[in-house]
Amino acid sequence: MTNSKDDSAASSNYQKVSDVARELNVSTQHVRNLVRGGEIAPTIKPGRQYLIPKTSLDDFLRRVVVRPDELYVDFLPDGARRRSK
């Protein structure tokens, strides 16, 4: 028998695919594809459901989120005027 205190601690450190999908505003299938492709790793799969550690999601977001000023500068065509700071 598991301790409910341990279960709540585990659930506070892990998120289900549906929770991550809601947070990222994407489909659950997209989150599963990110997990299977190794973009969000490591994960655990006790049975049929992936559990995603919050630290893995944080690492993923740090890698893929671009600040608006970086996006503006990085994708300007050559010779385009850059916004002054």
Find residue 44's DSSP bridge partners: 51
Higher-confidence position of 1 and 67: 67
- Residue 78 and residue 56: Cα distance in Å, rounded? 36
In a domain, 83, yes or no: no
Cα(first)–Cα(last) distance of the chain, in Å? 60
- Mean pLDDT within 49-73: 80
Taking residue 26's Cβ as centre, other Cβ atoms within 10 Å add up to 13
- Residue 44 and residue 52: Cα distance in Å, rounded? 7
For residues 32 and 50, the answer to whether their CB atoms sit within 8 Å is yes
pLDDT one-digit tens code per residue, 27-57? 999 999 999 999 998 889 888 899 999 999 9
Q: What pTM was computed for the model? A: 0.64
- Supply the mean pLDDT for the chain: 77
Task: Find the CATH number of the domain harbouring 45.
Answer: 1.10.10
pLDDT band at 14; cut points 50, 70, 90 = very high
In a domain, 82, yes or no: no
- Mean pLDDT within 5-30: 81
